[in-house]
Amino acid sequence: MVKLDVVRSANAALADGTKPFVAVVAGGTAGIGEATVRALAATFAGRGSGDGDRGFLRVYIVGRNREAAHKIIAECETACPGGVFRFYKGDLSLLKEVDRVCAEIIGIEQREADAKAAPAKIDFLVCCQGVLSLTVEESNEGLDKYFSLYYYSRMRLVERFLPLLIASPNGGHVVSVFNSSIQSSLVLDDLTLRNPRNQTLRTRFAHFVGMTNIFMEELARRNSGRLALCHYHPGFVPTNILNSSNLPWYLKFLVNYIVTPLSWPFWVPFEECGQRILFMASPARFPALEFKGTEAAAGKVKGVEIATGIDGKFGGGAYLVTKDDDTFGKEKKYDELRANGTAEKIYQHTMTVFAEIEASGVYKD
């Protein structure tokens, strides 16, 4: 477990050292994403050079709820007057919407960079978009929209932003807030889970987790030294996710009035959750590169130990992160999946889905 005061000091060091700091928070209008936006505002508050210095922190919030976004933005601008917070409305279950939002954000960052004759960059991408659903629902792009929210849209955000992420001086840092604690289990003969037999909640989630871990690891490998990706399990954060889900009323009742109150000792407070997510932008803990030194040497990096990656190496660029910013260590099936070509198969499948939807608007398999 990384202690919260260590997390806070690493975040403060990040805010002192990286200016401007550019972050995109998808699903930033509520819950864990909102906590991340607020942690950015609180951490960067007062860190400009004064005299109306603006834009040393730029945060792009993506979601559908404009009213919620504007309330968060007003409060963050008060907390961090030098920060610039912008909202982009988009239904992220659709890849064409992901592409539109990405193009708008890239355009703005490119203009900012051109004005300062500096390279355009994004330092931090956090993906929190998600809805709980026991059922699947096909979108007009031919994908289950919940699968898209948890996996395809998130990986498409990384892929679209890649040129700007790898331009970040510390290497771009990416977080997918989902459930790194679940043991993955891939359905290799039905990658998009068309077969109703593969559509139980358990099978879907284990498959989403497996796809996420493999694609992230593959991206880290292909962009070694320039990209760090964390799959994060935030623990139990008392958000509104259950009430905005399409679960039956009795399950909502059970969780709202029995499970949630009884589990309060295990709740992770919003403020802590936001700080711990921001910590995943820390190159001292989650570097974009494998660390070749010894464990003892790594412990001397700014008082923060380098985490172990999915591949079991020290550092490495892809991490399965616990709610306390520890890592789960090596993905058990890692070596086998890489050796038997499964990792390549999943990478190619995902890129094919992206290409087909971009070209024809729909994926058919």
Contacting positions for ligand NAP (CB under 6 A): 27-33, 63-65, 91-93, 128-131, 149, 177-179, 234, 236-237, 239-241, 244
Task: Find, among 166, 306, 154, the residue nearest to 232 by Cα.
Answer: 154
Question: Which residue in the block uniquely carries the two structure tokens 């058990």?
Answer: 332
* Shortest separation between residue 312's beta carbon and ligand NAP, angstroms: 24
Q: Which is nearer to ligand NAP, 49 or 240 (CB)?
A: 240
Q: Which is nearer to ligand NAP, 130 or 317 (CB)?
A: 130
Q: Which is nearer to ligand NAP, 152 or 314 (CB)?
A: 152
Strand partners, 23: 59, 124
Q: Which is nearer to ligand NAP, 185 or 340 (CB)?
A: 185
Q: Which is nearer to ligand NAP, 64 or 221 (CB)?
A: 64
Helix, strand, or coil here: 133? coil
Q: Kindly provide the b/e burial profile for residues 2-11, where b requires at least 16 CB atoms within 10 angstroms of the residue's own CB.
A: bebebbbebb
> DSSP class of residue 18?
-
Helix, strand, or coil here: 360? helix
Amino acid letter, residue 318: A
* Shortest separation between residue 7's beta carbon and ligand NAP, angstroms: 18
98, burial (CB in 10 Å: exposed 0-12, middle 13-18, buried 19+): buried
* Shortest separation between residue 122's beta carbon and ligand NAP, angstroms: 18
* Shortest separation between residue 121's beta carbon and ligand NAP, angstroms: 24
Distance CA 228, CA 139 (A): 31
Shortest-Cβ-distance residue relative to ligand NAP: 31
| Residues 139, 144, 148, 152, CA torsion sign | negative
* Shortest separation between residue 197's beta carbon and ligand NAP, angstroms: 23
* Shortest separation between residue 236's beta carbon and ligand NAP, angstroms: 5
Q: Which is nearer to ligand NAP, 98 or 186 (CB)?
A: 98
Strands 318-321 and 124-127: unpaired
